[in-house]
Structure formats: structure tokens, C-alpha cells
Amino acid sequence: MADLNSVITNGNSMDTNGLESGYQTDEEDYEGKREDFLGRVFQLLLKDGVQKGTDPSTKVVEFLHPHELSGKMDLALTAKGSSDTRLIQLCRETIRYSVKTGHPHFFNQLYQGQDVYSLAGCWLTDTLNTSQYTFEVAPVFTMMEDVMLTKLRSVVGYLDGDGIFCPGGSVSNMYGLNLARFNKFPNIKTDGMFGLPRMCVYTSDQAHYSISKGAALLGIGVNNVFKVPCDELGKMIPAALDRMIQDAKDQGIVPLMVNGTGGTTVAGAYDPLNEIADVCQKHDVWFHVDMCWGGGAILSKSHRHLLAGIERTDSLSWNPHKMMGTQLQCCAFLTTHKGMLQQCHSANARYLFQQDKFYDVSFDTGDKSIQCGRKVDVFKLWLMWKARGDEGLEKGINNVFANAKYLTEKVKKTPGFKLVFPDPECTNVCFWYIPPSLRGMEETPEWWNKVAKVAPDIKERMVKKGSMLIGYNPMGSKVNFFRMVLANHMLTSADMDFCVEEIVRLGEDL
């Protein structure tokens, strides 16, 4: 049998040319092939996935159009299996043509970087391949989730409550909607929507679209999600919210929930949570905050003021896989209402959640979830936090904010760059690049129409070159601009310099 340790250490491998899939060999050969194959894959992950994937001298992506990619890779599934050597080659090609989100020049999404401890956590949990619903099958992980959720609640300032890890921020926000509705109409679990009054939900016009999607899924209706106007920085206006809630109540509509935002997707704006909490308290409305993106700021003594008032909420969504840098996916839903997750979602399946088990069944937490099988997401966060501690995580968050400030100042000083928002609160830095051919002109509608084409053109060039990935988008009356988001804890000012210089290189001839 192959020695897996020697394979991992020395990169040794068996000669598998000509061998078919392991399922077609005898048991002893299969054991050897299995360990050899895993060792070779592990070496590939370390070299191509970790080392090359985070090397600034390599490409962020080797872009191919779909028809080109289908010609480069053998994606077809056939009756006869492939050899391990062929499978290793396909794994290598998969890494080659995928986007390297741990690369220091990847700024395209609200998740970036590669934390080695969190990555190790992913490998361990996928190896054990268990489900996070009972202590019986996940003894360590159910206890670990309890510890982690308690820690997150203490950081937020919840004195008591509950929580659950969810498969994404959108689902976490849906939990908030469902609990808010159950809180107002507890009989809805048994009787459904029949005979209930019209309900509504409030969220800012800059909030994440998942609130509308959740309202559609739960039968509340997209048209009953009322968009509260924001100021010029993208923050919800509490006075407008107050008026809108009163108007709805005057019409016999029942307000269920207000969704505040801790770091909007585009501008990175933080809603004034204390003022919104006052409005919610006045009208007896559930207050939920989507802090999926900007929640990491609460770990920093210098930046937690952005989330002042978060302890006054009924529930919140927080994605450590975003600003905190945990590997995807890692999303937590927290609430101050202890026991309500169980009351709202439990089905009491007797085959799984027996109450006469020989251990403490309070750790059988799966019935609090809307799922049955649930992937273990807590370990990658727990291991990263255990390695870095509160202080290490705070240092990483501070570094991200410092780089955002450095980039903002550089954009202000560099000819051809124009900030969309003067001083960003979060680590979203939004700007236009004005090529030399458009500078010094009157900013007419025709001029702005030309500026709107600059970001898409530069984006195409950077993707084809593979040098960098930055997103762009319009916002209201503002035409396409670059939205550069910073979440990678390992970024440096040199990476910020490269970003600005590369945009100039790619766009100066437009």
C-alpha cells in the first residue's frame, strides 16, 4: 500500500498509466490507488491552488469564452471511467482556468483572500463528511457551533439569544423575515397565510436584493417590500421610515420587519442603527440587520462604531466569509429571541430528533434549521479564530480599512480618477477613471455616456490579460463606475498602487 505521508512530503507517486478507475481494481490495489491519488491531488492543491494562486506575479484568471473552454477541457461524462493520471490532469486544468480568488489582485467580489487555517478547516470537514444536525453524528461540531454562536453574540452585544449557521447571507436574511412573521403571527406555522391581513417589510433602496427574494419565497410578496429612500451616501433615512410605517398602519397594513444594512453592497454604507431602532421600538416592529458584508468592522475597536446600536436589534445576518476572510461558505444568523428558532422551524422528526436518547439532546440543533442535512461550516471559522485570536482578527480588519483609506487618497491625487463617494465608510472604494481623451471637457449627458463605456472596456481588457479583476456598476443616476472592494487581510499598499497603475495602463488610450 502506498505511504500517504511520503506522497505528501516528497511528492512520490505510483505509476498509474493504463490503470482504470479505482472501482475496477481489487480491494488491495484500490487502497493503494486511493492514497496515491489523494496525495497527488494534495500536492496539486498546494502548488497550483495555494502557492501559484496567491502569487502576484501570476494571472488572476486565464480567461476563455465558453466555446473555447469546452474545446480545451474534456467535460463529457462517459460510460467508461478515466485513469487517475487523466483525472489529475483534469484537476490541474480546472485550477488553471478558474479564477484565483486568493490572488492579491482579485477585487471583484465581497469575498477575497485565502486563510490557511480556514482552508485547513474546509479540508478536515470535507474529509469527515458529516452533517451538522445531531450530536450523535457530529459531537465535536455541534458543541463547537454552540461555542462559536455564543462568541458571536457576545461580540455583537446580545445578552442572550440563539443562532444557526446558514448556507448564505440570502438564506440568513430569510430567517429574519420568517422569525419576524412568526413573532407577529405565531399561528402561521400551523394555519398558513389564510385570513391574515396584508403585511409589509421595509428596507433601504440600497439594500441587498435578498430581502425581496425572501418576501417572494415566503408569500409576503415583492410588492409589499417598501423601499425606504437613502441620503447621498446610501444610508437609510430614519424620518422617511417613520412616515412610511405610519402610512402603512393607517391603511391597515401590518409592518412585519425593518431591514437595516451594515455595509451596503455597492457604496458600503452603514445605516444609522440607533435611530432606526428608535423607530422600530416606537411602532413595535421587528428590527433585523443585514451586516453580511460590513459586520467584520465590529471586531475592530477603531471601526465598531459603524455598527453602533446593533445590540438593539431582534436579529442579524453576518458572513465571516466576507470581510473576516473565512473560506466560503460561512454565514451566521443570530437572534436575541431564545427558543424562537426551534418554535418557528421544528418539525419534531421522530426518526432523527428522538427525545429519549442517552445524551444531552439540547445539542441536537438541526430542528432549528429550515434544512435537514446541513454542511459543517463552523469549523473553518473556529480554527481560524483559534489560530489568530481576537487580536489577530482585529489586526486583519484594521489592515483592510487602512488599505481602503490608502487607495482613496491615491485616487484623489491621481489624474483621471474621480471618487463616486468622497470618503467611504466601509472598504468599498468607488471611482470613475476618465481617460485623457475625455479630460477637461464639460460634464454633459453626452460626456457621461462616454464615461459609462470606460469601465466595461477596461474590465474586458484586464480579464483577457488576467492581470486583475474589479467589478463595475451603475447606481441610480450615476453611470458605470469601478467598485473596488477590499476584504483580503494580506493586502498591502503596493497592491493598491498596482490597481491604480494597471487601470491607467489599460485605459489611457481609450
Q: What is the CATH number of the domain that holds 486?
A: 3.90.1150.170
d(CA 212, CA 98): 31
Residue 159's CB is within 10 A of a number of other CB atoms, namely: 8
| Overall domain count for the chain | 3
Q: Are residues 374 and 476 in the same domain?
A: no
What are the start-end ranges of the H helices in 101-138?
A: 116-128
Q: Decide which of 332, 366, 385 is a domain's last residue.
A: 385
From its phi and psi, is residue 56 left (phi > 0), alpha (psi between -120 and 50) or beta?
A: alpha
d(CA 163, CA 288): 13
Q: Decide which of 333, 354, 385 is a domain's last residue.
A: 385
117 part of a folded domain: no
Q: Are residues 54 and 75 in the same domain?
A: yes
Q: Are residues 366 and 469 in the same domain?
A: no
Q: Which amino acid is at 211?
A: I
Q: Are residues 354 and 415 in the same domain?
A: no
Give mean pLDDT, residues 472-494.
Answer: 95
Residue 23 has pLDDT above 70, yes or no: no
| Predicted confidence (pLDDT) per residue in 240-264, tens digit | 999 999 999 999 999 999 999 999 9
105 part of a folded domain: no
pLDDT interval class at 20 (50, 70, 90): very low
Q: Decide which of 367, 385, 403 is a domain's last residue.
A: 385
211 part of a folded domain: yes
CA dihedral 153, 155, 158, 159 (to 10 degrees): 100
| Predicted confidence (pLDDT) per residue in 29-63, tens digit | 666 788 899 999 999 999 999 999 999 999 999 99
Cβ-proximal residues to 51 (8 Å cutoff; 6+ apart), any chain: none
Q: How far is Cα of residue 365 from the mean position of the Cα atoms in its chain? A: 23
In a 3-state reduction of DSSP, which class is residue 432? strand
pLDDT interval class at 17 (50, 70, 90): very low
CB 425 within 8 A of CB 234: no
334 part of a folded domain: yes
Q: What pLDDT score was predicted for residue 24?
A: 47
> HSE on the CB side for 502, CA within 13 Å?
19
**pTM for this entry:** 0.92
pLDDT interval class at 122 (50, 70, 90): very high
199 part of a folded domain: yes
112 part of a folded domain: no
Q: Which amino acid is at 69?
A: L
Residue 428 has pLDDT above 60, yes or no: yes
Q: Are residues 319 and 347 in the same domain?
A: yes
Write down the residue that cell numbers 458572513 correspond to.
Answer: 319
β-pair type (162-166, 331-335): antiparallel
Q: Describe the chain by its helix, strand, coil percentages, rounded to 5.
A: 45, 15, 40
Q: Are residues 251 and 313 in the same domain?
A: yes
Residue 476's CB is within 10 A of a number of other CB atoms, namely: 11
Give mean pLDDT, residues 296-310.
Answer: 98
Average pLDDT over the chain, rounded to an integer: 93
Cα separation values, 127 from 61, 120, 192, 482, Å:
28, 11, 41, 40
β-pair type (469-475, 428-433): unpaired
Structural domain that includes position 498: 389-507
198 part of a folded domain: yes
CB 488 within 8 A of CB 326: no
Q: Are residues 150 and 265 in the same domain?
A: yes
Identify any residues that bridge with 335 across adjacent strands, giving them in sequence order. 162, 315
In a 3-state reduction of DSSP, which class is residue 16? coil
Give the burial class of 17: count Cβ atoms within 10 A of its Cβ; 0-12 exposed, 13-18 middle, 19 or more buried: exposed
Q: Are residues 409 and 378 in the same domain?
A: no
d(CA 445, CA 252): 44
Q: Are residues 218 and 350 in the same domain?
A: yes
Q: What pLDDT score was predicted for residue 31?
A: 67
Q: What pLDDT score was predicted for residue 357?
A: 83
Q: Are residues 272 and 348 in the same domain?
A: yes
Cis status, amide bond into 206, omega within 30 of 0 = no
In a 3-state reduction of DSSP, which class is residue 319? coil
Q: What pLDDT score was predicted for residue 2?
A: 42
222 part of a folded domain: yes
CB 434 within 8 A of CB 451: yes
CB 263 within 8 A of CB 269: yes
Of 169, 150, 238, 258, which is closest to residue 208 (Cα–Cα)? Answer: 169
Give mean pLDDT, residues 71-100.
Answer: 95
CB 45 within 8 A of CB 98: no
Q: Are residues 381 and 393 in the same domain?
A: no
